Amino acid sequence: MGEGQLLTKTLLNDLASIVGADRVLTDRDTLAKYSRDTSLSPERMPDVVVRVTRSAEVQQVVKYANIHNIPVTPRSSGAGFYGAGIPEQGGIILDMSAMKRIMKVDTRNKWALIEPGVTYGELQQHLAGYGMRALNPLLPHRDKSVITSTLEREPKLTPKHHLDETILTMELVLPTGDLFRTGSMAVPASAPEKVQEETHSDLCNSMGPGIDWYRLIPGSLGTYGIVTAMNIKIAYLPTQHKIVFFGFKHLEDAIAAFYKIERKQIGDDCFLLNSQYLAAILASAPEDIARISAVLPPFVLILNVTAGEWFPAEKMAYQLEAIAEISRTYLLQPMESLPGVQEAERVIAERLYQPWLDDTYWKFRARGAAQEIFFLTPLKRAPEFFALARHIAAAHDYPATQIGLYLQPKQWGRAFHMELGFPYNPESLAERQTVERLYLEASSALINQGAFFYRIYGSWADMVYSRTGQLHATLKKIKNILDPRHIVNPGKLGF
């Protein structure tokens, strides 16, 4: 189904009767904005963009599309990096970015009930009034939807949770147009913000009804349903904090100490960056990145040591003593500042709980764009995978010194999210083609070596599912049950 094939007067009138004529858009400039993102994914034009503001409108549009067999691709973020929101088969773009209600905040049970259009900046600003904060990834884009980020299983900075454990309950519209709620929100039809009062529930149970939907829906790229509300975990703002840096010459040198820190559960936020990625964050201007990267330690482990309202001095003391003990054991020198960067501790502390606010996203500052490869791995294999990526980059004449590295522990170090970033100039066709070839070869090689690709985008679908046939068959069966006409984000996940 291509551009223009669905643009009948009846279709436009029917959609306009649901959301209003001013929110049914067909001009070419608008359609072009939704045909691409910052990834290497091919452009695909939608036929029409429908901007919804309420869950009821989502239901009506999806029900209409299901009846008439029209593809629907949900979008709620103003920024896309992986091709998940590009309409493979045209049809309707369902833009939910205007659904911005923060319906309820429960400080006792530490959750917030939000709609898909809420960004991290908006949520953080709102929660600050309650003395709370969101559990965010590392410097998310300022236009990134919290719900989209959570459903894409972007790793949070806190090491205590696994990828989908910050989801409590959800309201979603199934591909048939039916409304469905999960966990302790699965009750008779009350508005999501009224469920807690009317059912006397804390809304903390994420399981059921039946299967664990909070595990099935994340990572499915919207192919199983469209989330219109989510109840997510939040945390208290710390009353005290201290940033601690550890520098390493070789990635192998960080492994034992990193594991020890995670076993002792030290630090509310903990992650490792190589000098290229850290310089991209700390540099005042893009032209300073190379200079700062050259003077930083090649690998830097960053700990955010925090304490809350209760016994803050005692908590800070035992964490700092544990850090001192680990430093003595592994002959490390904890640092409160970094070479070549003034007030690095302050810059990191101020930005940890905020989105990236500059016009150019931090991962793109070095060259203008970047392609990422990410997966889960035991920490002990990270040096092996990093060396493999550098070897393949060299074979493509790509400067290995430009590769960014990010390691994020999950569940206190049981697994690590490992991310490799390959910056390139998007205006250079030669650079783009080089990175695309490098990306495909490195992805395949990493999978063959045992890297666990847990977020499946674009060309990764064939690479992963060709090795896991039974899994792919099962996902197709679920798709056929929930979306028998295959209208919601078709073409993703390899079907």
Q: Where are the alpha helices (DSSP H) in 232-371?
A: 255-263, 275-282, 289-295, 312-329, 344-351
Choose the final residue of a domain: 236, 252, 273.
236
Task: For residues 224 and 253, state if they share a domain.
Answer: no
Task: For residues 121 and 248, state if they share a domain.
Answer: no
pLDDT of residue 495: 67
When the pLDDT of each residue in the chain is averaged and rounded to a whole number, the result is 93
Percent of the chain with pLDDT over 70: 98
What six digits make up the tokens of 70? 């029209």
Q: Check pLDDT > 50 for residue 424.
A: yes
Q: Check pLDDT > 50 for residue 4.
A: no
Q: Check pLDDT > 90 for residue 22.
A: yes
Q: Check pLDDT > 50 for residue 3.
A: no
Distances (CA, A) of 361 to 62, 337, 364, 369, 401: 33, 24, 5, 9, 20
Task: For residues 51 and 177, state if they share a domain.
Answer: no
| Host domain of residue 71 | 9-97
Tell me how far apart the alpha carbons of residues 164 and 177 are, in angstroms, rounded to a whole number. 25
Task: For residues 261 and 400, state if they share a domain.
Answer: yes
The residue with greater pLDDT, 277 or 2, is 277
Task: For residues 269 and 180, state if they share a domain.
Answer: no
Q: What digits encode the pLDDT tens for the residues 210-223?
A: 888 888 899 898 89
71-99 mean pLDDT? 93
Residue 139 lies in a domain: yes
**Predicted TM-score (pTM) of this structure:** 0.93
Task: For residues 121 and 87, state if they share a domain.
Answer: no
Task: For residues 156 and 287, state if they share a domain.
Answer: no
Domain count, the chain: 3
Task: For residues 210 and 245, state if they share a domain.
Answer: no
Q: Check pLDDT > 90 for residue 468.
A: no
Task: For residues 92 and 111, state if they share a domain.
Answer: no
Q: Choose the weakest-confidence range: 94-98, 101-105, 197-201, 480-484.
A: 197-201
pLDDT of residue 195: 84
Task: For residues 183 and 228, state if they share a domain.
Answer: yes
Task: For residues 270 and 222, state if they share a domain.
Answer: no
299-307 sheet: strands from edge to edge: 240-248, 299-307, 269-274, 404-410, 415-424, 369-377
100-108 mean pLDDT? 96
Tell me how far apart the alpha carbons of residues 298 and 293 are, in angstroms, rounded to a whole number. 8
Q: Is the peptide bond before 209 cis (omega within 30 degrees of 0)?
A: yes
Q: Where are the alpha helices (DSSP H) in 117-194?
A: 120-128, 146-151
279-301 mean pLDDT? 96
Tell me how far apart the alpha carbons of residues 363 and 300 are, in angstroms, rounded to a whole number. 17
pLDDT of residue 189: 67
Give the CATH number, domain containing residue 126. Answer: 3.30.465.10
Q: Check pLDDT > 70 for residue 5.
A: no
The residue with greater pLDDT, 194 or 172, is 172
Q: What digits encode the pLDDT tens for the residues 106-161?
A: 999 999 999 999 999 999 999 999 999 999 999 999 999 999 999 999 999 998 88
What six digits make up the tokens of 463? 């690479």
Q: Check pLDDT > 50 for residue 350.
A: yes
